[in-house]
Amino acid sequence: NEGSLWGGRFAGGPADALAALSKSTDFDWRLARYDIAGSRAHARVLHDAGLLDDVELTGMLAALDRLEDDVVSGAYVASEADEDVHGSLERGLIERAGPELGGKLRAGRSRNDQIATLGRMFLRDHARVIAARLVETIDALVAQAEAHPYAPMPGRTHLQHAQPVLLSHHLLAHAWSMARDVERFVDWDRRAAVSPYGSGALAGSSLGLDPNAVATELGFDSAAWNSIDGTAARDVFAEFAWVSAMVGVDLSRISEEIIFWATKEAGFVTLDDAYSTGSSIMPQKKNPDVAELARGKSGRLIGNLTGLLATLKGLPLAYNRDLQEDKEPVFDAADTLELLLPAVSGMIATLTFNTEKMAALAPQGFALATDIAEWLVRQGVPFREAHELSGEAVKLAESRGGELWDLTDEDYAAISPALTPEVRTVLSTEGSLNSRSAQGGTAPVAVAAQLSELRSRLEPL
């Protein structure tokens, strides 16, 4: 069992099938630099505790530096026989520092506290990258909103025409949910900024090592307060997977809209050539593949979360080897979002809106019926009655194959004397939009206010 991290009590080495099953270097090798950073911090606390002398510390750090250079250059890679990144790097350290010195570093730490710590370091770095990419997506939405401050579109509920809204208002609705996703990553980081290093296998270390010194060196706010929790908990991983899945769902929802907007039937947007694809057989095709891949990849992001939760469910404390399965789902979540977000941002930034068509459709489908009812309320009519009267106007217009503005003053008067010709002041998209001016409404003044609020939220992120 040469080169293994254990073996003293074993008569022989593992079966080939076990070795193959056990092996994680294919996916955990990307933690190598975090592992080496952890080793440096650990060497220093061993030194502080008097377990490495000055010469040994210097030699250890120099060997770790050489190992890191070789890992970065690719001169050192995991061998076929290495089980995981930790074991492989110990082998690499021993090759460089010799068995006497290299064999000292493992004191007081376990792969259990190492892997829990390195995973957090990896995810914290990637959460920052993903949050930055998300802010770029929000910026693309904000830029489109600013480019179309007064453009109306049909606002829909149940996918049916509901009330006119501003395109900018609609785009910013997506921006708000994405801004909350950014805040979620920031908030998540407070819980992720706790270092399990020093928890050992599960019970802590008897060697007088300072876990907070390691935590500080590795960029954490503090060390774990419970070594069992430190090694066994993966809620921080699951929460990362959840926030990532939520981002996926948010990207999927706007993507679904863009796919619909780009249809011949809707004709609301034209996709830029750089963000659409053709067909191998149909020469005319221009397909919204970015949006479709975003919609599709939300499925794998949700799968990463549910798979991880299923792995965690029913696991007794403390470490169990099942936890080796924690990495691929969160690594994939990070990779997926880092790949997807720039494409989605580019697609949004380069959309061309057919504002004329959107504006023409905005009031159609009796989308101003609520405006009639609310106008009646302002004249003192109870809403229950106002709703009925406006509904009758819809019925009459529909029976004639027209819209609400096609009815004559006499038609309105016949429905109710309360429906005086002044009702026409609200029978326009502009009137409808402008009237919804309270905070959160779709009036241009309210949208301008929300834009500055959104910007001030984004500033510190």
Is 311 a binding residue for ligand ARG by CB under 6 A? The answer is: no
Is 319 a binding residue for ligand ARG by CB under 6 A? The answer is: yes
Catalytic residue list contains 279: yes
Is 111 a binding residue for ligand ARG by CB under 6 A? The answer is: yes
Shortest distance, position 90 Cβ to ligand ARG, whole Å: 12
Catalytic residue among 24, 39, 279, 399: 279
Catalytic residue among 158, 206, 399, 456: 158
3-state secondary structure the chain: CCCCCCCCCCCCCCCHHHHHHHCCHHHHHHHHHHHHHHHHHHHHHHHHCCCCCHHHHHHHHHHHHHHHHHHHHCCCCCCCCCCCHHHHHHHHHHHHHHHHHHCCCCCCCCHHHHHHHHHHHHHHHHHHHHHHHHHHHHHHHHHHHHHCCCCEEEEEECCEEEEEEEHHHHHHHHHHHHHHHHHHHHHHHHHHCEECCCCCCCCCCCCCCCHHHHHHHCCCCEECCCHHHHHHCCHHHHHHHHHHHHHHHHHHHHHHHHHHHCCCCCCCEECCHHHCECCCCCCCCCECHHHHHHHHHHHHHHHHHHHHHHHHCCCCCCCCHHHHHHHHHHHHHHHHHHHHHHHHHHHHHCCEECHHHHHHHCCCCCCCHHHHHHHHHHCCCCHHHHHHHHHHHHHHHHHCCCCHHHCCHHHHHHHCCCCCHHHHHHCCHHHHHHHCCCCCCCCHHHHHHHHHHHHHHHCCC
Give the x-and-dash track for 114-133 against ligand ARG (CB under 6 A).
-x------------------
Residues 3 to 32 in contact with ligand ARG, rule: CB under 6 A:
24, 28
Is 112 a binding residue for ligand ARG by CB under 6 A? The answer is: yes
Is 109 a binding residue for ligand ARG by CB under 6 A? The answer is: no
Is 195 a binding residue for ligand ARG by CB under 6 A? The answer is: no
Stretch that binds ligand ARG, among 181-189, 316-324, 359-367, 443-451 (CB under 6 A): 316-324
Looking at the Cβ atoms of 257 and 326, the one nearer to ligand ARG is: 326
Shortest distance, position 95 Cβ to ligand ARG, whole Å: 21
Stretch that binds ligand ARG, among 107-115, 250-258, 306-314, 442-450 (CB under 6 A): 107-115
Catalytic residue list contains 387: no
Stretch that binds ligand ARG, among 172-180, 318-326, 376-384, 394-402 (CB under 6 A): 318-326
Stretch that binds ligand ARG, among 111-119, 287-295, 413-421, 438-446 (CB under 6 A): 111-119
Is 234 a binding residue for ligand ARG by CB under 6 A? The answer is: no
**Which positions lie near ligand ARG, rule CB under 6 A?**
24, 28, 84, 111-112, 115, 319, 321, 323-324
